[in-house]
Structure 1
Amino acid sequence: MPWDATDYPDSLKNLDTTIRKKAIEIANAMIEEGFKEDQAIPIATEQAKEWYANANNKEINQMKNKTNKSLRERDEKEEDFNSRPETLEKGEHVYPHDNGWAVQVEDAKQPAFVFNNKHDAIDRAREIAQKKETHLVIHKADGSIQEKQSYDEK
């Protein structure tokens, strides 16, 4: 069951409200990706504190104003890497999946998206990699690497 601002782990109770909401958002995303609660909570707490230390006033106010519903339900428009800062430097992979073609960030436990066709998966992965200024790895149907593209602007 996803957490929200009124129902969350006891270990988050002493956090500032904004940091707590960010930790809840991150932990919910991690659990959705397959992490266990006892793994997600401490990681989400540390990442939320780090996010708060680096966030601007607009980002802090947006988090402060998040509703319980928005904390529980992941917005399909929201990029996965917004709530998972550790994925910002990792590339995107497109690979065959039981239900079509998957887009998955490097080292993630499960795909962020699954598309019926490879072209749509590549388009989405490319968009994410370009925004994050990382790289894209496209796999063939047999799992071998077909192509690599770098979007590193540094």
Structure 2
Amino acid sequence: MVWNMNDYPSTMKNLDSLVRKKAIDVANALLQDGYPEGRAIPIATQQAQQWYDNASSEEKAAFRQEKPPQKNDSHAGSKRSGKLLDADVKVNYSDKQWQVISKGAKKASETYDTKEEAIERAKYIAQNKETSLEIYKENGDLQETRDFSK
């Protein structure tokens, strides 16, 4: 099922309207890529909230002006986006920060000052994606792998 701003999952009811709009857009794209609803909804909600927390005022204003997601919108399936959504998550040290990054991604989704914060966030993402989490030492050696696939 695809959604719009008037017909969306009840779990999105209490989201800020801009976060909800982004979550609906992401969820519809995930459904187009073949994700089941039960997996698409939490991933989309988490990604929308992350986008909102990190987006500039200009990005938010531009997205607010875009037309709302419609049930008949075309979301061209991207092979790369599907691969990243299924990709394992890594925590590694680079540029004096701990990074959370999906394998195959060009840049980190988030950075942290402490390894513990990065691991907590990466664990949450890996659990939602049902993938593995690879934790690296500061020197680049693999420290640990955790499997969250079901």
Q: State TM-score, norm by structure 1.
A: 0.49
Q: State TM-score, norm by structure 2.
A: 0.50
